[in-house]
Structure 1
């Protein structure tokens, strides 16, 4: 299940500022390109999902840009170190937020105690005024006091590592709140109560406008327009065991189709000890993260949780249509996406999310006007180039999903015969330096004596461009003899060990 035979992660598909930061991680922390690339996506999703949405170029729906990721890697592969180095501004932001939150809670407790005393007196005055028949004054005075009840501002903290559904609702309660569930203890997350609520996780990924949780004390937690980023690392054997036990249920829920899976090969033994140089390209990446976090904090303080909504330009819309047509075609039975149609149906949404992240991260949002339309005009539209870059990244994860979840290929008897004939031709003809052999010789000694079966097998090898069948008429024999002519390039490319 976890055999690693991937293409390189498309680091170069990231815009230059992100690409250089990822390459510096690879060199300085000595991690795989997969860990570096997925860490960049985690940072972008965490910092940007509270600030921006995108408009679907065909349906016009407003979609979130938050991502879910699962990265398999061996223990000691330094994913945590890479993520800490890349996401340092996020962690610093949360440390400041926690300190500020404690201060706010103390002030809120004192203000609440004073308000309760005031409210108690107001209730007494309300009763006296009602007895005197002054209903209007009673209602006005009590309403004025109740309007002064202290409220606790939402915390700008983003990152959580261990949580429950209840605590997630508490973090997302309100309008437009965001959080990121990041952990390198994926086995703990998979065993937690959070992973029993796939409907909630799916709805949050989908950007459902209203999520509610009814509590036992008849109170309700309400999360509007919330955004959730998930990224967890897990050891391959642990994930394999999880899917062996619950894979059918988890995939049937639709959760897997929303996750970008990655398999990072171990590079233990390939990391020569070195003095880590000071960061260079991480610094501008960090500076941009700090700008985005400051924008989120200002948005919370203002109480106006409105996200920028960006669109695709005309060329990007045409490219989107081409990609969508190809995806729909590949969902047809027997084609590439048919056996992973769950992910295939989410693929374009994921492409759009990544395109939104890449575009907004590179946009100059430091001094945007307050007017929403003017802001969007200043940010600009997603280009076809950015969409193409996003598809390269999403396409890599598509192949990962195919490798993990596509059922084993069921080979026909003819294909098995073709493999058997190929093995014979390789070992006893090609390996002996010969480039052709009588077909009848193969029938006699190649293990498949039935002529119909042999002909079917050879037709498959002809289709693979491994061999040709030539008829040669000899002067002393009226009946032409058939020779199997080998294609040396094919046999050199696909050896039999």
Structure 2
């Protein structure tokens, strides 16, 4: 197969439906069940599940891309949905096991903390005695060498503060987040189902450090009033569910800076259509059998995180790709690269496209590990990751890039044509549109572009009637 034909095959049509994922039995069953029970948008539910998976798995594994580079499994996820779309419900369904597990570990941590505080008081008391002895010997002009040796040895015996198994940060500043990754569990999630607090707060202010952690690089945090420190090997997944108004406000104030820094290029985005008005009650008993199965698997992963956290050596396993999957990933990478050029699928989205193949590898490895598949990532799992990330890419385009003039004109022209349809006419002459259509679209070139845009969307077609070009409105609107 030629390179060009392969590229066309691996890149699905723009604007397609949310991809199916029957190859992922645990995840699909849980998402299907949640969609049936809470009737929230399917992409919103899937993003909630994927975020929980990423938070759990990222600390255990890395993925080796077919080119040999190992990268983290951390994700950055953004879901835009207005009030009433059940964002919190969709998130809580899948994050409940993590919050419960963290709470249990928090109880044990409080016991360890009290024990440490008692040991520290004893250590302080002994330290004061040794220091007083050194002071007395020095004051009396006697040799204090033995006391000084005891002081040094005692310093090495200072009890270490226990580390906390803190995996979720929901209302945090960047300073507290990075310090937590340094002092406690080095794998965490910055999660918010009401993203206005995160977007307009201080959690995402240090853009370069967030970018570095996503890439798996070490970061140095310099502080004026305390010792500086370096965070090495940390993993951080960011999941933000925000109302459109809060997100638009953020974009107005800091969007250009964050987009220019490359932060949003790393995000997988969804902005699903509302289900409000269709969420009717059903006369059936609600079951959560498959969500519970999802939770059991997630708890197994959390237990592995806990064991790794307690171990002195914290080596992550590396997930690779099967030969067939490697070929597909390379073909997808090249297909994406070929579409960055002018008028290509990723025109004006070069920053986003440059991170897309990386995100595809991460999503595929996360789902492979979560489902408990053996060996390397399969072709079918990677195929879904490709379709999903490219679907997110279409959402990214709609959210971050201004609409082309022909798209804006097509929306206005479509409204006008609907009025013609409502009057009972199923076609209209093109010249009639030029005479009586929306004023600013009557110019020939601009009208042609708007009509072509509607035609590409399948909303109209063209035909000739006695030598006159006409627009057929008899389509499903």
TM-score, reference length from structure 1 = 0.78
Structure 1 unmatched runs, 5+: 365-378, 471-481
* Corresponding residue of 2:376: 381
CA gap of 1:286–1:125, structure 2 versus 1, over 3 A, is same
Mapped partners of 1:326, 1:43: distance in 2? 30
2:21 is paired with a residue of what secondary structure?
Answer: helix
Among residues 265, 269, 275, which one is paired with 1:267 in the alignment? 275
Among residues 117, 123, 146, which one is paired with 1:115 in the alignment? 123
Matched, 1:298 2:293: no
Cα shift readout 1:322-376 (whole Å, capped 9, x = no counterpart): 1011101100111110111111111111101101101111226xxxxxxxxxxxx
CA gap of 1:132–1:257, structure 2 versus 1, over 3 A, is same
Deviation at 1:278, TM superposition (A): 3.2
* Corresponding residue of 2:3: none
Q: RMSD of the TM alignment (CA)?
A: 3.7
Cα shift readout 1:383-421 (whole Å, capped 9, x = no counterpart): 222111111111111110011122321449xx99xx89x
Structure with the bigger RCO (C-alpha within 8 Å, sep 6+) is 2
Matched, 1:251 2:259: yes
Q: How does 1:273-284 map to 2 (within 5 A)?
A: 273=281, 277-284=286-293
Q: Given that residues 367 and 381 in structure 2 are in contact (C-alpha distance below 8 angstroms), is that contact kept between their aligned partners in structure 1?
A: yes
* Corresponding residue of 1:375: none
Mapped partners of 2:179, 2:356: distance in 1? 31
2:345 is paired with a residue of what secondary structure?
Answer: coil
CA gap of 1:249–1:17, structure 2 versus 1, over 3 A, is same
Cα shift readout 1:131-178 (whole Å, capped 9, x = no counterpart): 88796x777644543332211232122112100122112210059711
Q: How does 1:206-225 map to 2 (within 5 A)?
A: 206-208=215-217, 210-225=218-233
Q: How does 1:165-244 map to 2 (within 5 A)?
A: 165-173=174-182, 177-208=186-217, 210-244=218-252
Deviation at 1:181, TM superposition (A): 1.2
Mapped partners of 1:132, 1:308: distance in 2? 58
Q: How does 1:391-402 map to 2 (within 5 A)?
A: 391-402=386-397
Q: How does 1:289-438 map to 2 (within 5 A)?
A: 289-363=298-372, 379-411=374-406, 431=425
1:407 is paired with a residue of what secondary structure?
Answer: coil
Mapped partners of 2:149, 2:304: distance in 1? 38
CA gap of 1:456–1:358, structure 2 versus 1, over 3 A, is closer
Q: Given that residues 163 and 185 in structure 2 are in contact (C-alpha distance below 8 angstroms), is that contact kept between their aligned partners in structure 1?
A: no
Deviation at 1:109, TM superposition (A): 0.7
TM-score, reference length from structure 2 = 0.81
Deviation at 1:432, TM superposition (A): 7.1
Farther off after superposition, 16-25 or 152-161: 152-161
Deviation at 1:125, TM superposition (A): 6.9
Mapped partners of 1:461, 1:264: distance in 2? 26
Q: Given that residues 174 and 222 in structure 1 are in contact (C-alpha distance below 8 angstroms), is that contact kept between their aligned partners in structure 2?
A: no
* Corresponding residue of 1:477: none
Mapped partners of 2:28, 2:127: distance in 1? 58
Mapped partners of 2:351, 2:179: distance in 1? 31
Among residues 96, 112, 115, which one is paired with 1:88 in the alignment? 96
1:196 is paired with a residue of what secondary structure?
Answer: coil
Cα shift readout 1:187-207 (whole Å, capped 9, x = no counterpart): 111111223211121111111
Farther off after superposition, 233-242 or 347-356: 233-242
CA gap of 1:447–1:199, structure 2 versus 1, over 3 A, is same
CA gap of 1:237–1:139, structure 2 versus 1, over 3 A, is same
Q: Given that residues 156 and 296 in structure 1 are in contact (C-alpha distance below 8 angstroms), is that contact kept between their aligned partners in structure 2?
A: no
Mapped partners of 1:36, 1:458: distance in 2? 40
CA gap of 1:126–1:381, structure 2 versus 1, over 3 A, is farther
Q: What is the count of residue pairs matched by the alignment?
A: 442
1:153 is paired with a residue of what secondary structure?
Answer: coil
1:39 is paired with a residue of what secondary structure?
Answer: helix
Q: Given that residues 469 and 484 in structure 1 are in contact (C-alpha distance below 8 angstroms), is that contact kept between their aligned partners in structure 2?
A: yes
Among residues 61, 65, 74, which one is paired with 1:66 in the alignment? 74
CA gap of 1:33–1:114, structure 2 versus 1, over 3 A, is same
Cα shift readout 1:11-42 (whole Å, capped 9, x = no counterpart): 52660110000111111222110121111111
CA gap of 1:245–1:216, structure 2 versus 1, over 3 A, is closer
Q: Given that residues 23 and 380 in structure 2 are in contact (C-alpha distance below 8 angstroms), is that contact kept between their aligned partners in structure 1?
A: no
1:180 is paired with a residue of what secondary structure?
Answer: strand
